[in-house]
Chain A
Amino acid sequence: MTNTSTRNKVLWAIVTVLVLVYALFPVISILATSFKSPSDLTSGKFLPSSGTATTSNYEQILVGDAQGLFLSALRNSIGITLIATFIAVVLATLCAYAIARLDFPGKKLVLTTALAVSIFPVISIVTPLFNLWRTIGLYDTWLGLIIPYLSLTLPISIWTLTAFFRQIPWELEQAAQVDGATTWQAFRKAIVPLAAPGVFTTAIIAFFIAWNDFVYGISLTSTEAARPVPAALAFFTGASQFEAPTGAISAAAIIVTIPIVLLVLLFQRQIVSGLTSGAVKG
């Protein structure tokens, strides 16, 4: 008995290490690159050569000559993503509440539309939007990205929240009212605590999706006024014409990965339950 359980533990240790290597290796790889000095970039080694590790790449994008480019992109990314996430979650909460709770014709139509929008090829929307935005002045503005981001964040928010709300025992609300609570009290004390985790989880998932956008970012912006980080990375150029921007891009990539890693570390359980419950329901 002890024998099999020890073997079991060793087996699980191996599996865990394998999964960790799979999941983290590319991140560690670009992390190592971000600390390489320009002359060390071509060493052909995974880690920076001993004694040459440097933070100069981070200095370049945070306080150095690439500062304007990166910090404005970071500000754009954070602002646009948070606003798009917020709008999507508010609208999706109302919509999912109606679907889970009320009986009205066209419920299925709303859900099917959300599904259809989520499989829509982004690039098919970009050409007409590019043209339209240039005409009405939304090209290269925050709003010009927030609106198309809703096409990414709204559908998944509606599906995830509908799945969450369907699991809430809404009778609690009536029970609280029977016990003498007002409608508002019943909603706030009985329903909000049950619904809040779902709304929060949905917000994280929507944030990931908007944060990841690249196609809209490169197509609908042209300057630092609205260009988000993923798009800015693609157009990064080196300090001089002859110097590849490898180090600076790696450092910037690590900085925009930090919020993702933090959210994942803190809310791993919620994200998994959000993704699995919104996805497949027998």
Chain B
Amino acid sequence: MTSAIPAKTTTASSTDPGPRLDTGTSTTNGKTRKAPKQYSDRVRAERRLGWILAGPAFVIMLLVTLYPILQAIFESLFQFRLTAPGEREFIGLGNYAVILSDPVWWSGLWTTVLITIITVAVELVLGFALALVMHKALKSVRGLLRTAILVPYGIITVVSAFAWFYAFDINSGYINNWFGWLPGIDENLNWFAQGPTALFVIMASEIWKTTPFISLLLLAGLAQVPDELSEAAKVDGATWWEQMRKVIIPNMKAAIMVAVLFRALDAFRIFDNVFIMTNGAYGTEVLSLLAYRQSISRLEIGLGSAVSVLLFLCVLLICFVAIKLFKVDLAGSQGGK
């Protein structure tokens, strides 16, 4: 955008062998000597200032994530209970063998994957509809719509979980009363006493709370589709559906991919709604809850760390698949400008 930044980039890269970590100036000395002394000083000062300003945030981010995950990998190799610290024993990959041979892990993984797929699919459709509404809305209602949509975005997940829980709960709820005319629903239906119905409410709360986020990402994508394109399609006699399918959606594919990946990673970490509504009972246990129960409730640090590491590997795998197979360009879509 601004002329200053690209200009600087090009002049700097002509003296610089290429982007690299700031490993000090000694490696580039030989090559920069040819450039005028004053200039390379300025470049060097700018680099130093850049790292002075960006460094603290960078270091803190590494400290609060990289250090704990390395610690978790280390702890996961031990049999270690906080209640019996003296009996700490190195068992290699033993914890992983225990977890991967336990059906609890696999049912947790399955539940988590199921929740991720269903919620992201529903949210994509619902979020796209909301984005279209916000995009096309008349000026007079635009502010109102945005304000309303931001309420679920900002609300605490735990509050959302309680709101949905109390609405469906067999004692304090009214849903059984309202929807008693539907087959399968009557006043004795206890939504939280069996897996499928409990998962339904858990997913409803999750979808309600996070759809605004995905719809805002899609709104940003919609705003990037040039109006002339859909205008031209309209002039050529394309129906609304044809405009969507042939013009709008292909042009915002990148935005859709990024939104789906972000939401999928977020949904995979689902914890709050499950904890509040069922605490993992009746086959609703998800992986985050499994890790929590092992380490925080049972103080089995070794096993809990191993679950944490496996969860982390799952997230990495999702990212890897998305980036390699679907070519989602996360950094490029944001930092490209």
Q: Which residues of A contact B (CB under 8 A)?
A: 8-9, 12, 15-16, 19-20, 22-24, 26-27, 29-30, 33, 41-42, 44-46, 91-92, 94-95, 97-117, 119-132, 134, 147-148, 150-151, 154-155, 158-159, 162-163, 166-167, 169-171, 208, 211-212, 214-215, 218-219, 229-230, 233-234, 244, 246, 249-250, 253, 256-257, 260-261, 263-265, 268-269, 271-272, 275-282
Contact = CB atoms under 8 A, between A and B. Distances in A.
Contacts of B141: 12, 16
B119 interface: no
Contacts of B198: none
A105 B16 contact: yes
A253 B296 CA distance: 25
Interface stretch (B29-37, B92-100, B228-236, B269-277): B269-277
- Determine the main DSSP class of A at the interface with B: helix
Contacts of B317: none
Contacts of A130: 295-296
B157 A214 contact: yes
Given A171-B4, A260-B156, 20 more contacts: A22-B208, A29-B166, A33-B166, A45-B174, A91-B60, A92-B57, A103-B9, A104-B51, A108-B19, A112-B331, A113-B58, A119-B265, A122-B269, A256-B156, A257-B156, A276-B220, A276-B223, A280-B221, A280-B258, A281-B333
Contact of B46 (A45, A104, A109, A114): A104
Given A250-B162, A260-B155, A111 B311 contact: no
Nearest to B177: A44
5 contacts: A20-B148, A27-B151, A106-B20, A114-B61, A279-B217
Given A91-B60, A95-B58, A269 B143 contact: yes
Interface in B15-51: 16, 19-22, 43, 46-51
Interface stretch (B64-72, B103-111, B189-197): B64-72
A45 B177 contact: yes
A44 B176 contact: yes
What are the nearest 6 A-B pairs in CB distance? A104-B50, A276-B220, A98-B53, A128-B71, A95-B57, A23-B148
Given A16-B145, A281-B334, A151 B65 contact: yes
Contacts, number: 348
A123 B148 contact: no
Nearest to B216: A275
Contacts of B62: 113
A103 B50 contact: yes
A142 B43 CA distance: 41
Contacts of B173: 44
B333 A269 contact: no
Contact of B156 (A109, A163, A219, A230): A230
> Contact residue range for chain B?
35 or more
A127 B305 contact: yes
A120 B69 CA distance: 10
Interface string B233-266: 0000000000000000000001100110010010
B301 interface: yes
Nearest to B333: A280
Contact of A131 (B57, B75, B150, B254): B75
B42 to A, nearest CB: 10
B292 A105 contact: no
Interface in B179-222: 187, 205, 208, 212-213, 216-217, 219-221
A254 B143 CA distance: 23
B337 interface: yes
Q: Which of A16, A103, A276 has the most CB of B within 10 A?
A: A103
B77 interface: no
Interface in B135-160: 137-138, 141, 143-160
A95 B53 contact: yes
B54 interface: yes
B118 interface: no
Contact of B166 (A20, A30, A124): A30
B296 A264 contact: no
A26 B166 CA distance: 10
B254 A282 contact: yes
A281 B332 CA distance: 8
Contacts of A148: 64
Nearest to B180: A44
B144 to A, nearest CB: 7
Contact of A101 (B5, B330, B333): B5
A62 B133 CA distance: 40
A241 B136 CA distance: 53
Contacts of A272: 146, 150, 216, 219
Contact of A99 (B54, B254, B288): B54
